[in-house]
Structure 1
Amino acid sequence: MSDAQSLWHLADGRALTLAGAAEARRLAVSRGRVWLTLSGTTDRPAEDCWLEAGEAVALAPGQTAVLEGWPAAEFELLVPPCSAAPGRGGLLGRRLFGG
């Protein structure tokens, strides 16, 4: 697996706020349907959208996301290897990614 990842579950009627992070991330819906509100950036205004299983959206550094499962959903929050903290990739990570 090349990305650091975490699987999240959104129960029916529950909302979750993902605070902005220093690095870019990718939010990918693996099951269900998600109502997503993204904070605006200097390049794009805030927006709302639906994401179905198999769809994903890029989160810019510092961008906040509010998600709600309709009715319930699972998603992954992926961080590219180049954004991972130093030392997390070990010797192999440094050789492959020039760290």
Structure 2
Amino acid sequence: MANGNSHEEYWSLDIPGLTAVRSQSLKDRLDPEFDYGVIPTNPRLFMTRSYDLASVEILVRCLRAALNEGSLAEEDTSGASALLEDCEAWIQQAGG
């Protein structure tokens, strides 16, 4: 069972072919085991992708280039900056 420590590693599962109905069934069975519950992600609403270190480093370079260019709309700049911060934090945590 998770101990509620927000600084734990954050693991996830990718289950190819998982349906919405099966996802809910798994959630219902697993929820009692985890302090923060289980969160199914709808592929119509979220791009769930497991990026490796090299891919995240490329994303960081692209985000930096776009932000340095200064041509993004204000709301896009805010979103890109937040994504860049998340990626840089993950790289540091991953030891990259």
Q: TM-score range by the shorter chain?
A: under 0.3
Pick 1 or 2: higher relative contact order, CA cutoff 8 A, min separation 6. Answer: 1
Name the TM-score, length of structure 1 as normaliser. 0.21
More helix per residue: 1 or 2? Answer: 2
Max radius of gyration: which structure?
2
